């Protein structure tokens, strides 16, 4: 897992954000776009991890795309990601992923769950309302620099998750 163009995009949005100082509508739009960009990246990363699990466990690629990834809309850990992993390799293997992540990287699994839960709530507020509604309901507009910091934190946690998936699948799929 390497940093993607998402990091560059968030940096660019942060640069533009600083250039529109005092222009509230433009700065709010850049904040909203930064949040949606970050959340879209998380979904893409989760889909990639699910594809990897599907491939390693010899699942039908078309089924993984259509019936697992294609029917999942979101990035909450338990409701979306773990649910997809369970469909592919079962609860036992998913539990091994959780155990390895917590054992090898203490505190990282609850931190990941917490960050994703908070972002899911913020994303919903932005994705399901227009800018005027966001402003009238006094939604917190987090600066692109905040989204970039979240990106870096989540990226490192997803590296831990990826390593835990590799370890757990080797155990689970071993003859």
| DSSP for residue 142 | -
Q: What are the Cα distances from residue 75, in Å, to 47, 78, 82?
A: 9, 9, 10
- Choose between 12 and 1: higher pLDDT: 12
pLDDT at 87: 96
**Is residue 3 over pLDDT 70?**
no
Number of Cβ within 10 Å of residue 63's Cβ equals: 14
Q: For the chain, how are helix, strand and coil distributed in percent, rounded to 5?
A: 80, 0, 20
Number of Cβ within 10 Å of residue 39's Cβ equals: 22
Look at residue 101 and give its three-state secondary structure.
helix
**Is residue 139 over pLDDT 90?**
no
Contact 68/88 with Cβ under 8 angstroms?
yes
**Is residue 143 over pLDDT 90?**
yes
Q: Six-digit token pair at 35?
A: 């949040």
pTM of the model: 0.92
Comparing C-alpha atoms, which of 96, 100, 76 is closest to residue 86?
96
Q: How far apart are CA 55 and CA 51, in angstroms?
A: 6
């Amino acid at each position: 897992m390497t940093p993607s163009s998402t990091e560059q995009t968030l940096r660019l949005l942060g640069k533009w954000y600083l250039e529109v100082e005092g222009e509230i509508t433009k700065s709010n739009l850049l904040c909203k776009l930064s949040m949606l960009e970050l959340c879209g990246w998380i979904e893409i990363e989760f889909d990639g991890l699910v594809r990897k699990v599907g491939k390693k466990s010899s699942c039908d690629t078309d089924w993984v795309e259509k019936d697992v990834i294609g029917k999942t809309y979101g990035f909450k850990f338990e409701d979306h990601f773990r649910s997809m992993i369970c469909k592919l390799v079962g609860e036992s293997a998913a539990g091994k992923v959780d155990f390895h992540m917590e054992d090898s990287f203490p505190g990282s699994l609850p931190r990941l769950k917490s960050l994703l839960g908070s972002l899911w709530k913020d994303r919903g507020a932005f994705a399901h309302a227009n800018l005027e509604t966001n402003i009238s309901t006094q939604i917190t507009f987090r600066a692109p620099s905040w989204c970039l910091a979240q990106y870096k934190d989540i990226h490192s946690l997803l590296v831990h998750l990826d390593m835990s998936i590799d370890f757990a699948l080797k155990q689970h799929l071993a003859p």
